[in-house]
Amino acid sequence: MSAILEIKNLNKHFGGIHVANNINMSIKKGEMSAIIGPNGAGKTTLFNLITGFIPSDDGKVFFEGQDITNTRPETIVKLGIIRAFQVASVFLEETVYDNIYLASLAHFNKSAKIFADRMIFKDVHEHTEFILKKLGLFDCKDLKASELSHGDMKALDIAIALTLQPKILLLDEPTAGMAPEERFKMMHLIKELHDYFKLTLVFIEHDMDIVFSIAQTIRVLVQGQLIAEGNPDYIRQHEGVIEAYLGKEVF
């Protein structure tokens, strides 16, 4: 697997806080990876730096070999780095079906391509129905988005993100605020996105059961520093990681 996203010596300060402390990462194409770390460790900031929401102090970000450091968010989206949970993308007064239909319409030609090796869609309707089914939203397709449960709203947001044809999908705490059953459903959805769509996925997550069940690679951020990265077995036994989570039986 070759690297799709490379982060080199990335630094960011907020006032006196070093929120990204010389971060280096190489995210492989097709990889399912998680970023974990205590609150305030700089996880969301890292997503903000990658997606151009905030400028870095120094360091570089490369996507498919291209230097995208401090590129505008709109340009980064067009390159295929998509972040879900920008709920502004959901039209609350429209139905679930219409939300996906409208997003599919705008990007049909592009979006159909991610499925090109497995299926061809006759039209936007067929494409919409396929996404509804894959995301577990078919049964609520006629509800207004505003009537959805928290978990289904997140699934809708991911559905819309998918129509943008992501090459890499970033999810910031996809199960936050969910009941256990909803979490389980979201975990399966994330796994399906990876397995079926062959997406490169990076998710920030607090639920360690989810992280250790589905991530192939886990990266641990503590006070802006990447203190460990590796497969679940390696991370589980890593002394620095255990220390960072001392007193909490998370693994």
- Binding letters toward ligand ADP, positions 14-53, x by CB under 6 A: x--x-x-----------------x-xxxxxxx--------
Choices 13-21, 80-88, 90-98, 225-233; region in contact with ligand ADP by CB under 6 A: 13-21
103 binds, among ligand ADP, Mg ion, none (CB under 5 to 8 A by kind): none
Residue 120 in the binding site for ligand ADP (CB under 6 A): no
Q: Closest CB to ligand ADP among 41 and 160? A: 41
Residue 44 in the binding site for Mg ion (CB under 5 A): yes
Residue 71 in the binding site for ligand ADP (CB under 6 A): no
Do residues 183 and 175 lie in contact, with contact meaning Cβ atoms separated by under 8 Å?
Answer: yes
226-249 burial code (b ≥16 CB/10 A, e <16): bbbbeebeebeebeebeebbeeee
Q: Phi/psi class of residue 235: alpha, beta or left (left: φ > 0; alpha: ψ in -120 to 50)? A: alpha
Choices 12-20, 72-80, 95-103, 182-190; region in contact with ligand ADP by CB under 6 A: 12-20
Non-local (6+) Cβ contacts of 200 within 8 A are: 4, 5, 27, 28, 29, 30, 31, 167, 168, 169
Do residues 138 and 132 lie in contact, with contact meaning Cβ atoms separated by under 8 Å?
Answer: yes
Contacting residues toward ligand ADP, per CB under 6 A: 14, 17, 19, 37, 39-45
Contacting residues toward Mg ion, per CB under 5 A: 43-44
